[in-house]
Amino acid sequence: MSSRTLPQELIRAKRDGGALSPEAIGELVGGISDGSLSDAQVGALAMAVYLNGMSAAETVALTEAVRDSGEVLAWSDLDLPGPVLDKHSTGGVGDLVSLVLGPWIAACGGHVPMVSGRGLGHTGGTLDKLEAIPGYDIAPTRERFRSLVKEAGVAIVGQTAELAPADRRLYAIRDVTATVESLPLIVSSILGKKLACGLDALVMDVKTGSGAFMPTHEASFELASTIAEVASRAGTPTTALLTDMSQPLAPCAGNAVEVREAIRLLTGEVRDGRLLEVTRGLAAELLLAGRLAENRSAAQALLDGRLASGAAAERFARMVTGLGGPADLLERHDRYLPQAPIVRPVNAERLGRVTQMDTRAVGLAVVELGGGRRAPQDAIDHVVGLTGIAALGEAVDGERPLAWVHARSEADAERAATRLLAAIEVNVAAAGDVRLPTLIHDVIRREAP
């Protein structure tokens, strides 16, 4: 901490509604990283920001300071033949985009050093899903990570202690001081980690709807716009897509079941659906930002060709093998991915069509089964979850249930079924009477200055 300014004076300035200079923000973030700011001071700073907000310039400075609080990855020494690209999602239910998009972009000539997280609340976590694969190492050595990004084009791993350490401490204190829901703190937390990966371009998937972190369109749009603006001003061209989360993105939710769905999509067993459409839209934006395609039509044609040829599936297989997983996972996934002892349908209480869904409650049903965490230290049960989740507008009857529950016990399955029946509304309606949500609401593009 600089001897020129006492931290409490900087905190006082923010508390009283003042704007902090980039130098002052750098001093504070440095104190968070090296421990010279006490937990009480960090909490007071977080509350001051929560109550008074930050200007765009302050948010950019905070993001850059968090990014620079630890190692910032550099790739120039590897002579990569393509751009370094990545994607981040604000989280949802049945959102397994990362498992498909990373290998797909790699097959198109990009390099994806994807640092992912675990599940939070009702939303699933990419790392939890990948740990359903036997042997998959989410914490490889730095050398292994870098070589895999070059050789396979993609490596999906967990955050290391060296990347954005200020964020780890700041987030932990925000979590216990009721200051999580602050736009500048959210944006700097997301982008501090992502931009530390040395990206040439980033695409953000910001969810809106009943299963989103910010369920209203207005709040989600503000988050998407702020992320795109701040990241680009911090030097990384960023596109944010506002996508629908008023129902699960994939027809499944859980850990092993979502890995299976990713494999089905990559190998061509699944050829349509909301998951494919959103992933294709995000991937096309990354190809354009990384100058791997001249226009949208060319980007989509390149993506479709690489998926149909099996090149994207091959990149996924190389990543899995390179991180310790089985070499024949694609061909024999039912042998390797764990399966629940109880699989039973959940039938609707009346015939009709699905007209509305509380997607957050659907995600919480998976948490209650053991597929998510009630507390950070909880272990994840990879086998449990939901499959065959009926979509909005879809007819359900005695032959077509609302979903299938994968559980450890009949009692667990019954509790999940009760939660699902309360979360999914079924009414007598014609197909045209059910208003289906737009899948991609907005696209916000920002170039670096």
Residue 194 sits at φ, ψ, to 5 deg, of -65, -45
The residue annotated as part of the active site, out of 129, 146, 193, 280, is: 193
- Cα-to-chain-centroid distance, residue 377: 20
Strand partners, 203: 87, 239
> Is 86 an active-site residue?
yes
The one catalytic residue in 174, 333, 353, 406 is 174
Half-sphere exposure (Cβ direction) of 64: Cα atoms closer than 13 Å:
19
SS3 113: strand
89 belongs to the catalytic site: yes
Tokens found for residue 159: 């955050």
Among residues 118, 129, 194, 382, which one is catalytic?
194
Within 13 Å, how many C-alpha atoms sit on residue 355's CB side? 14
Helix (H, G, I), strand (E, B) or coil at 120: strand
Q: Are the C-beta atoms of residues 83 and 291 closer than 8 Å to each other?
A: yes
Kindly give the pairing relationship between strand 201-208 and strand 238-244: parallel
The residue among 287, 170, 273 whose CA lies nearest residue 237 is 287
Of the listed 98, 126, 160, 182, which one is catalytic? 126
**Active-site residue 87, yes or no?**
yes
Point out the catalytic residue in the list 59, 69, 89, 279: 89
| 272 classed as catalytic | no
Residue 126: active-site member: yes
Catalytic residue among 67, 87, 122, 207: 87
Instruction: Please indicate whether residue 150 is annotated as part of the active site.
Output: no
Catalytic residue among 59, 63, 68, 88: 88
Active site residue 3: no
301, two tokens? 């044609």
Find the catalytic residue in 33, 63, 86, 353.
86
Among this protein's residues, is 147 annotated catalytic?
A: no
**In the sheet where 253-254 sits, what is the strand order?**
253-254, 385-387, 403-407, 342-346
Verify whether residue 193 is a known catalytic residue. Answer: yes
Residues 174, 46: contact at Cβ < 8 Å?
Answer: yes
Instruction: Point out the residues that are catalytic.
Output: 86-89, 126, 174, 189, 193-194
